[in-house]
Structure 1
Amino acid sequence: MCKQLSFFCLFSLLFLQTVEAQTRVVTELRQGWKFSRGSQEGAAAKSFNDKDWQQVTVPHDWAIYGPFDKEIDKQVVAITQNNEKVASEKTGRTGSLPYIGEGWYRNRFQLPHFEKGQKAILLFEGAMSEPKVFLNGEKVGEWNYGYSYFYFDITDKLLAGEENLLAVHLQNVGQSSRWYPGAGLYRKVSIIVKNQESIAQWGTSITTPLVTPEMAKVSIKTKVTGTGLRLVTDILDEAGKRVASDTAHTIFGNEFEQAIGVAQPQLWSPESPSLYKAVTRLYAGKELRDEVTTRFGIRQIGYSPATGFTLNGKTRKFKGVCLHHDLGPLGAAVNVAALRRQMRILKDMGCDAIRSAHNMPSLEQLELADEMGFLFLAESFDEWARPKVKNGYARFFETDAEKDIVNLVRATLNHPSIVMWSSGNEVPDQHGSEGARRAKWLQEIFHREDPTRPVTVGMDQVKATMQSGFGALLDIPG
């Protein structure tokens, strides 16, 4: 009888895990990639022969393998930020590594759990750069900015019960960066399979507008697809204990809103980076249709001319660094162990703040900042419409800046470590009224997407920003 009961319990546990897994399955495409440099005509087709291509894992940086050559991306330029009047030869700005050129990645995979009637999303957390994405020979989309997170709905192109072929073309042009950018699929690629009634990608927004020692108000907005739904959210502490719960039945547009009280909250700070989890379950009737777990922290930030920055009601200074995304000799491919080592060294030297110089940070870096206790300034661009380098982001600014900022904010909004946004670094647009207009436009996008954090720009032309009003309109002149 005991053995039968144990078997029944085990079978029930496995069944529950399967049912839960069927609500949403995230598959990271790490293995099975083939890679080749060059244009490779026809490489998007399923029938293309890639047997001689290199086998790689993703994240992958094709340029870090070398060879070094100071002639690579040699730039003859006058750096106006350094008050240079005459152009001179600059070597090694981008590491003297062969990031320039084209490359292709191909991956054959099956998703046994995907069924007709479900929804599938293909998520890239960064691709350097200008990726064009094909599934089973058909183009599903493209993006320009190599540091941006982006996704495509591939529901109609993904084959159920059959082999699929994902192909990605990337290209890096010379004089497109002022530092080593890396090359290729240097951040994670994932496929998310879920039901039609589901929580939207980056659809959970968590803020803590009221915090006292006795109680914290946790405001949660959840965007969903479907009708006749209810949303159940449990808040768990670091030990996994449920400390609060709420059920919402009313959808406002496509969004549930919940206000949940957490008693005696453990506050997030660099000295004590306490974290909670919000486990959100979406039901249609009694049937679980989707489930998402979102990690967050309870904390309050404030800024004022009189006191400067306050965290949880206490004034403090930022003791920070500007940190580029590459990992030295390991290259730009995301590596959690190397990031943790890097950030541990920073902690040991007394650092408690990081600015992502000068682009969107990796999601892994932000997760570590939450865990280890770093205040984070999340930056977006090194260029706006006026270029610093011949082929930089200025090529895409007018068409892409808004969608790149939207994705930055929605993908990272719930990280308690982020205490400020930056829309740019030492941009030449600091001069003149057009630059002030752009600064205002970008700041308004940040405010629309996240009213809880201020926006800055790293400025190095003080006189120009005072004359144009550029600095005065920013939440925080940087």
Structure 2
Amino acid sequence: MIKRVLFLGILIGLLHSAAYSVDFVRLKRNINREWKFVLSDIKGAEVTDFNDGDWQNISLPHSFSIPYFMWSKIYNGYGWYRKVIDIPTEWKDKNVTLEFEGSFIETEVYINGTYLGKHIGGYTGFFFDITRYLNAGKNVIAVRVNNLWKPDVAPRAGDHQFSGGIYRDVYLNVTDKLHVDVYGTFAYTAAISKKEALCEIQTEIRNNYPSDKNCIINTEIESPAGKVVSKVQSKMLVKGNEVKIVRQVFPRISEPQLWSPESPQQYKAVTTVMADGKVMDKYETTFGLRWFDWTADKGFFLNGEHYYLLGANVHQDQAGWGDAVTNAAMRRDVQMIKDAGFNCIRGSHYPHDPAFVQACDEIGLIFFSENAFWGTGGAFGDRFSWNHPTSSCYPANPEYRPKFDESVLAQLKEMIKIHRNHASIAAWSMCNEPFFTDWETFKDMKSLLNQVTDSASVWDPTRKVAIGGAQRGEIDRLGKNVIAFYNGDGASRTEFQNPGVPNLVSEYGSTTSYRPGRFFAGWGDVVKTPGYADPWNPPTWRSGQIIWCGFDHGTIFGTGLATMGMIDYFRLPKRQYYWYVEALKKGNRNPQEPEWPSKGIPARLGLKASNNIISSTDGIDDAQLVVTVLDEYNRHISNNVPIELRILSGPGEFPTGRMIRFVPPSQEEASDIAVRDGQAAIAFRSYHAGKTVIQAIADGLEPAVIEIITLGTPMWEEGVTVPVAGRPYHRYEGEVCERVSDTNKMLLATYRPTWVSSSLEGTNKAYVNDGDVTTFWKPVVTDREKWWKLALEASYCISKIQVELPEADVVYQYKIEVSVDDLIWKEVISDRVSSKDIKVRTFQGDFGCDIAFVRISFISEEAGLTEVRIGGK
């Protein structure tokens, strides 16, 4: 059986290679394999004859930070990539473009020593026409990438990690000089119902010939079963060296098969471009027939039916590989969210890989694609480092603002053009929490938001736009066609109840835990919605609720914010995930906790793979390996023991090389590569074809062995092929710019989520940290607790606290406490003998580090707060 599979793989690889040398209309060739890399800035590395012999041998997708395991610090600087590509003589009359799906954050590209240009922006694809620079035979691509923080490039901040590298796939697109441009079609429905659909397609035809071309454009729409259901032919003249858009309106499609999460049916448009009596290009576009309605009073509708959105926020990075994950790994992520019973994903907080969105289309999850414009507690101006996570979302220095505006708009336009045909995308999100910005920039930030919402509606008039993280600064009121995404306490604040605009809770939960965690929903502010404490009975005006978050992810803020996922960084579910499986997938509204693995006597290891065949050697497929501690009856037990996975023979690699070691978190040698609750996992990939034998071992336990077959070419030759070098994991402790902040500004509390024991009518908990000294909070008269609590949404070292009280002629007595986890509190300030003529009181000192919560409790009968300001770093 194994021999037959290997033979098939070799045959497929040879046929694939043969396609490069025979006549073809269009070819998309993956060039992920066999690059050279150095983590440095090397002068002259772009020239063809540069000696890169001592550089690392790597393949894509790749990240500067591999191996990366959720540590808060990473390398910031430059890296160089080089690759030799072989251009067949048959391509001499072809048009060749070099396409990158994503590279972070500034990418300069050279071919044979010639500078092609650069792309700035880390989450959207780009391409260069390299036709005129190519020679038959060997050619050298050189790419200089840096992940340096830039004051005039979005994002300027974010609760995730910012590793550099070519971390998505790279392709050569080979076509005739007359062809459909890259990302060159836009398929949509001009009118649609359950009975019929009227489709339109706009197609960009690029003519790189110097002469004009009379073109015939035939487009056929195929049903999910492959039957042609509508077709159109158009004729047009495309002048030499011109790009022209043809708009085709199709005969109506009767009884359309509508796309939905429950039935993710897709249609395909095949566009054939003809000129000079022959076929010049053939281009396929996959899309869906469906429609979305967003209403302010009745919620969200899909295909005319009310549809409540239940989803998860998802970041792109995974254990070991960081951002550089395979298409198959992304698909597993989407499937895990689907398998829990959710029906949507919010792509936090940047445009995701095309393969991720394609998986949403095919598996059936509504997707919200978000632009990389956001802030995280930032009101400290321009910080000049990723490692200071509180920069102003919008540039404080006016010098940077014009280019920053261009950056936000350019990335938005690229996101829309790349992803506009995806059936799953129900709205474009413009941002996330951009209100975290310097006060003097607030007006300009809102002006940019208005500009991007208007632009998005021009670039894609078929979808509405959303303001992500709209719970501060009245940025939820930018227009009637805008959807408000409320994060955190935006679910429960009075002003966002039936707000008069389409809306949903885009982040709830934010519960922190390492696996295994707790078996609970973690509803957070969802159950604090006035009058709707039952999350299964939401208000009619709310469109949905999306948990923060689906998976643990790396972040510059450290583990406090990194471990809020239902699923851990290694893609093993926490118990919270199983709560949702029971509640959503199985429909048990009161899930009963199952029996979990318990301590036992370890006897052996179990080793399983998500798939035992990797379909190709080009970095788009891999296998997820899970190793489990078992007792003598083969039952999963919760004992944590040091485990190693080793490649005994054959091709392939872990992020750490040919071996990876997991250790219990309680051990002195514990690292970020941990075995927890008796299990560990990692993704395995291979850039050579052949059989890989992998063994799991632990001292005193019976080992486990698994075989993985990789198809394609080239074949692995044991003892001949050079195996991948080891990449030992170390927490990055190189030169970094640590967080610095002006404690005199005391802006750590501004706009953060708050809670209170009660609120007197006319006052509000949010007035205490909104920067407005004319508003305040007071508890009700009968309240015997009288407290106000603040979540900093990150961990800080606090050195200054300022309290502004409502009235100067009243005696207020209170205590101030701080907490790391909202469970254990430490009193740091006691103001029990206060003077009634001091309205603003400032306290300085070392109030502790890793502080995430602050609480002020009143002891006096009089209680209330106008403003609370906090400084630290």
Q: Which band: TM-score by shorter chain?
A: 0.7 to 0.9
Secondary structure, aligned partner of 2:131: coil
Query: Are 1:268 and 2:259 counterparts?
Result: yes
Q: Does 1:365 align with 2:359?
A: no
Residue 459 of structure 2 corresponds to which residue in structure 1?
A: 449
Of the three residues 33, 36, 50, the one matched with 1:48 is 50
Matched, 1:102 2:102: no
Q: CA deviation at 1:340?
A: 2.1
**Matches for 1:109-258 after TM superposition, within 5 Å:** 109-112=85-88, 115-159=91-135, 161-173=136-148, 177-226=158-207, 227-250=213-236, 254-258=244-248
Aligned pairs (5 A) from 1:64-83: 64-66=66-68
Partner of 2:272, secondary structure, is strand
Alpha-carbon separation, structure 2, partners of 1:223 and 1:362? 22
Is 1:30–2:16 an aligned residue pair? no
Q: How far is the alpha carbon of 1:470 from its aligned partner?
A: 5.2
Structure 1: distance between partners of 2:221 and 2:364? 21
Matched residue type, 2:143: V
Indicate conservation of the 8 Å contact 2:96/2:175, yes or no.
yes
Partners of 1:477 and 1:458 in 2: how far apart?
A: 7
Assess, with a 3 A threshold, how the Cα gap between structure 1 residues 296 and 37 changes in structure 2: closer, same or farther: same
Question: Which has the larger displacement, 275-284 or 236-245?
Answer: 236-245
Per the alignment, do residues 454 and 49 of structure 1 end up closer, same or farther by CA in structure 2, a change over 3 Å counting? Answer: same
Matched letter for residue 162 of structure 2: P
The one of 397, 407, 414 equivalent to 2:421 is 414
Task: For 1:239, give the aligned amino acid.
Answer: A
Secondary structure of the residue that 2:137 maps to in structure 1?
A: coil
Q: Secondary structure at the match of 1:228?
A: strand
Structure 1 unmatched runs, 5+: 1-13, 69-93
Q: Counterparts of 1:99 and 1:28 in 2: how far apart (Å)?
A: 28
How many residues in Structure 1 have an aligned counterpart in Structure 2? 433
Instruction: Tell me if structure 2 keeps the 8 A contact 1:322–1:354.
Output: yes
Deviations 1:378-407 (A, max 9, x none): 001143898686446856523322221111
SS at match of 1:187: coil
Residues 402, 231 of structure 1: alpha-carbon distance in 2 compared, 3 angstrom cutoff: same
Confirm whether residue 333 of structure 1 aligns to residue 324 of structure 2: yes
Q: Which structure would you say has the larger RCO, counting Cα contacts within 8 Å and 6 or more residues apart?
A: 1
The equivalent residue for 1:300 is: 291
Instruction: Tell me by how many angstroms 1:48 deviates.
Output: 0.8
The aligned counterpart of 1:433 is: 443
Question: 1:151: how far off?
Answer: 1.3
Q: 1:442 to 1:473 in 2, by over 3 A?
A: farther
* Deviation, structure 1 residue 117: 4.4
* Alpha carbons 1:122, 1:152 under 8 Å: kept: yes
Change (3 A) 1:286 1:330: same
Give per-residue Cα distances to partners, 1:49-87, cap 9 Å, x unaligned: 111111111111230315x7xxxxxxxxxxxxxxxxxxx
* SS of equivalent to 2:43: coil
Q: Which has the higher helix share?
A: 1
TM-score by length of 2: 0.47
- Provide the residue aligned with 1:402 in structure 2: 409
1-structure distance, mates of 2:360, 2:32: 24
Which residue is 1:10 aligned to? none
- The 8 Å contact of residues 61 and 166 in structure 2, kept in 1 or not, is answered as yes
1:334–1:362 Cα contact (<8 Å) kept: no
Paired residue type of 2:43 = E
Specify the alignment match of 1:423 in structure 2.
430
Structure 2: stretches of 5+ with no match in the other structure: 1-15, 150-155, 208-212, 387-392, 486-873
Whole-angstrom distance in 1 between the partners of 2:382 and 2:474: 18
Indicate if the aligned counterparts of 1:176 and 1:389 stay in contact, CA closer than 8 A. no
Q: Do the aligned residues in 1 keep the contact of 2:62 with 2:167 (CA within 8 Å)?
A: yes
CA contact (8 A) 1:123 1:150 kept: yes
Aligned partners of 2:99 and 2:128 also within 8 Å = yes
The answer to which of 385-394 and 362-371 deviates more is 385-394
Q: Distance in 1 between matches of 2:384 and 2:165?
A: 21
1:465 and 2:440 equivalent?
no
* Amino acid corresponding to residue 412 of structure 1 in structure 2: H
The aligned counterpart of 2:722 is: none
SS in 1 for 2:132: coil
Paired position in structure 1 for 2:674 = none
Match of 1:345 in 2: 336
TM-aligned CA deviation for residue 18 of structure 1: 8.8
Give the 3 Å change call, closer, same or farther, for CA 398–213 of structure 1 in structure 2.
closer
CA shift in 2, pair 1:158/1:177, >3 Å: farther
Q: Is the 8 A contact 1:28 1:190 kept in 2?
A: yes
Alpha-carbon offset, residue 177 of structure 1: 4.8
State the 1:367 CA deviation: 0.5
- Is this contact kept in 2: 1:176–1:390, CA < 8 A? no
Q: Is the 8 A contact 2:450 2:478 kept in 1?
A: no
> Which amino acid is the alignment partner of residue 173 of structure 1?
L
C-alpha displacement of 1:266: 0.7
Q: Which residue of 2 aligns with 1:74?
A: none
- Conserved 8 A contact 1:377-1:422: yes
Give 3-state SS (helix, strand or coil) of 1:52's partner.
coil
TM-score with structure 1 setting the length = 0.84
Moved more, 255-264 or 436-445: 255-264
Q: Counterpart of 1:403 in structure 2: which amino acid?
A: A
